[in-house]
């Protein structure tokens, strides 16, 4: 019998500030956070970075089964499978940056699901072209340098008041963060 996955929506209507989200396509924690943030996604400034730039093209090595289990424990509502390897996310990140802003979120979710649910190699230019529906115009950004200067992991959410949400945290903590309440929080990542 398949476990029922709850889709608890975050109600985040009170906070009107600016939130930057650093995530990486090749990070299962980032995938889970992107799923949790669906109801607030249009109010967030998504910035794709590479936390494992040494990952292979084509996809190689192994995704860490311990990380997968940790994400499953922290975010049981998120469908997640162990892919056949760990892909380099550079091309996908640069294509995300080159897309018109109105198309980025859909592309982001397609890439995450392609890797973490379907097991596709997102380091493949053919896969990324399909997921981008032919709109492959990679663009370099300053996001990577900014993120590296912060010395934090992914996923990371940063409010304009300096409060941070690092890793996968409880839904109530995430809700409070997005509503502009409380202190910095840190979960698993």
**2 pLDDT band (50/70/90 cuts)?**
very low
**42 pLDDT band (50/70/90 cuts)?**
confident
Residue 7 has pLDDT above 70, yes or no: no
**61 pLDDT band (50/70/90 cuts)?**
confident
Question: Got the DSSP string for 40-102?
Answer: GGGGEEEEE--S-TT-BSS-BS---HHHHHHHHHH-TTS-----SSBB--HHHHHHHHHS-HH
Residue 4 has pLDDT above 50, yes or no: no
Among 87, 69, 86, smallest CA distance to 78 is for: 69
**What is the Cβ-side half-sphere exposure of residue 113, based on CA atoms within 13 angstroms?**
10
Q: Average pLDDT for residues 59-70, to the nearest whole number?
A: 93
Q: Average pLDDT for residues 88-102, to the nearest whole number?
A: 95
pLDDT of the residue at 1? 33
Residue 187 has pLDDT above 90, yes or no: yes
When mean pLDDT is compared across 20-29, 50-59, 118-127, 147-156, the lowest value belongs to: 50-59
Residue 15 has pLDDT above 70, yes or no: no
pLDDT of the residue at 150? 96
Domains detected in the chain = 19-186 (3.40.30.10)
Residue 111 has pLDDT above 50, yes or no: yes
Residue 84 has pLDDT above 60, yes or no: yes
pLDDT tens-digit map of 130-162: 999 988 898 989 999 999 999 999 999 999 999
pLDDT of the residue at 16? 60
Q: Which residues contact 171 (CB under 8 A, 6 or more apart)?
A: 8, 10, 36
pLDDT of the residue at 135? 86
How is residue 167 written in tokens? Answer: 């890793």
Please give the Cα distance from 189 to 181 (Å, whole number): 22
């Amino acid at each position: 019998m398949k476990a029922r996955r709850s889709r608890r929506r975050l109600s985040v209507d009170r906070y009107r500030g600016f939130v930057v989200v650093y995530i990486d396509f090749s990070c299962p924690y980032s995938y889970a956070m992107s799923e949790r943030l669906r109801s607030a996604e249009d109010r967030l400034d998504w910035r794709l970075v590479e936390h494992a730039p040494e990952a292979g093209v084509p996809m190689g090595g192994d995704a860490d089964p311990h990380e997968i289990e940790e994400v499953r424990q922290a975010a049981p509502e998120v469908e997640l499978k162990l892919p056949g390897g760990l892909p380099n996310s550079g091309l996908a990140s640069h294509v995300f940056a080159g897309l018109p802003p109105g198309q980025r979120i859909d592309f982001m979710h397609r890439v995450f699901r392609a890797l973490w649910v379907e097991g596709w190699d997102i380091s493949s230019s053919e896969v990324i072209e399909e997921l981008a529906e032919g709109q492959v115009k990679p663009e370099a950004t300053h996001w990577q340098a900014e993120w590296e200067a912060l010395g934090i992991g992914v996923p990371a959410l940063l409010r304009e008041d300096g409060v941070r949400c690092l890793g996968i945290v409880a839904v109530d903590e995430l809700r409070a963060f997005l509503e502009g309440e409380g202190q910095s929080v840190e979960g698993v990542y």
